[in-house]
Amino acid sequence: MPVRPTAPLILAATLAATAGLTSCGGGSGSDPDTVKVVYNRSTDNKIRFKDNHLAEVKKQFEKANPGKKVKLVPIQAQDNDYATKVQQMMRSPKTAPDLVYEDTFRINSDIKAGYLRPLDDYLAKWKTWDQFVDTAKAAAKAEDGKTYGVPDGTDTRGLWFNKKIFAKAGLPADWSPKNWDDILKAARTIKQKVPGVTPLNTYTGKAPGETSVMQSFEMLLYGTGEAGGNPLYDPGAKKWVTGGKGFQDALSFLRTVYSEKLGPDISDALDPNVGTTVFSEWLPEGKLAIALDGSWLGQNWLKTGGKPWPEWSKTLGQAPMPTQNGQAPGKVSMSGGWTWAITAKSKNPDLAWKFIQQLQTKDNAVTWDIVDAQIAVRKDVAQDPKYTSSMPGITFFTGLVKYTHYRPTTPVYPQVSTAIGEAMEAATTGDASPEKAAKSYDDQLTSIADGATVAASGQG
């Protein structure tokens, strides 16, 4: 999950990345027979399914293309640091890889910076592109109408809860909250009846980056107001929406969780690695009752995962995140995803495209969605029996796609996300009221969006 360390740590990471990139041999250079592929490696050293899968695809590719080579370059870092390092690499022809793994929420800012190459000429001749669902295609499309990445999966989000802790608290095993108050009521009951357990985790603050902003705040914000409206960005007017009632209500929910000590200690909540702690310690060790989190958590607890936990499918239940007051459609989810993108300064774009095609054979696409616990973005993969039976909960999380939302695909979104993280942290710690934190967000938003903002409608 994305993180944003303090400024000194960013500087240190930048210097280390520069040194590391110099030592690893730069870009693909003048070798026309090697495709250099950069991707993010988990910070948990026990998790290597991505490495293993890519190594297998590399073997397939080199066997199918005699004389051609694939150089895999993993970057082990949290997502914000990974993005910083990749952007440094893409700036220069000497260090630019051919192919990069790109988070959809960053792809438009990298397109605007001139780091990526449009893929439309390749896609027009690729029959497999017809299998991709429209929402996934849109996530990799820029404001210029061109497509810059091939998505390999998506995700959804909901509430995970520990049925054993719920039983101790007298709460039902088929818990399904209808509104925010139901969630807070359950958390308060657990605090009272099961001492020593953290009732509820909702990510917050600047350090966890998009883990906080998308997985917590936007899960709340998109559940305010009326169905169909976008509370962050008005695509028709091409303007950002200021922090109105829904925005303030989302901050108030976080303030309630942390002021009533229904969540983890604030110092733990503001740890950039809190996402890892949730799946590797708090949930499997029975220290956390409810987690607002993603569809991929189960992969960590499989035999091949970083924290094998055989009992997880029986111990944990899942429930949809409800809208604020239970208003239609009643449920809410956020979706993201990653794409494979060819860099603008790639020396071997045609070879990079061939590797994307190898990654996206039907068998490889099915395998990838299974090992990385992705929600399928291809119609043929979504119908494959190996996918539909791959993991407990996969049907539940796939069913949330109909309620899901995607983040605004504009180049300044990463800056907006940072401003939201700061507002969350101020409200969570009590440094500012939700109203003042929202006002501070508005001030930043006006600057970020160069005045292209519109007042929020009555949300909530």
pLDDT tens-place string over residues 71-122: 999 999 887 789 999 999 999 999 999 999 999 888 888 998 999 999 999 9
Q: Is the pLDDT of residue 10 over 80?
A: no
- Residue 118, domain member (yes or no): yes
Instruction: List the domain range (segments joined by +) for residue 55.
Output: 34-155+336-397
Residue 47 has pLDDT above 90, yes or no: no
Q: Are residues 120 and 75 in the same domain?
A: yes
Residues listed for the chain: 460
pLDDT computed for residue 24 by the predictor? 41
Is residue 177 domain-resident?
Answer: yes
Nearest to 235 by CA among 92, 109, 138: 138
Q: Is pLDDT of 27 > 80?
A: no
Residue 362 located in a structural domain: yes
Is residue 199 a contact partner of residue 169, using CB atoms and an 8 Å limit?
Answer: no
Residue 311's identity, in one-letter code, is E
Residues 424 and 327 in one domain: yes
Going by C-alpha positions, the residue among 297, 291, 206, 213 that lies closest to residue 257 is: 291
Please tell me the predicted confidence (pLDDT) of residue 427.
98
Q: Decide if pLDDT at 360 tops 90.
A: yes
Torsion angle, alpha carbons of 228, 109, 376, 179, to 10: -40
β-bridge partners, 340 = 101, 150
Instruction: Report d(CA 147, CA 341) in Å as an integer.
Output: 10
For the cut 50, the answer to whether the pLDDT of residue 148 exceeds it is yes
Residue 440 near residue 448, CB atoms below 8 Å = no
Per-residue pLDDT, averaged over 250-273, amounts to: 97
Whether residue 353 sits in one domain with residue 325: no
Distance CA(239)–CA(233), nearest Å, equals 6
Tell me the pLDDT band of 139, cut-offs 50, 70 and 90: confident
Q: What is the pLDDT of residue 387?
A: 92
In total, how many domains does the chain have? 2
Per-residue pLDDT at 2 exceeds 60: no
Domain assignment present for 214? yes
Residue-level pLDDT at 16 = 39
Pair 149, 67 in one domain? yes
| 148 shares its domain with 164 | no
Share of the chain above pLDDT 70, in %: 92
Assign residue 380 the CATH number of its domain: 3.40.190.10
Evaluate whether residue 460 is within a structural domain: no
More confidently predicted of 48 and 377: 377
* Domain identity same for 244 and 310: yes
Among 15-24, 273-282, 337-346, 390-399, the range scoring the smallest mean pLDDT is 15-24
pLDDT tens digits, one per residue of 273-302: 999 999 999 999 999 999 999 999 998 898
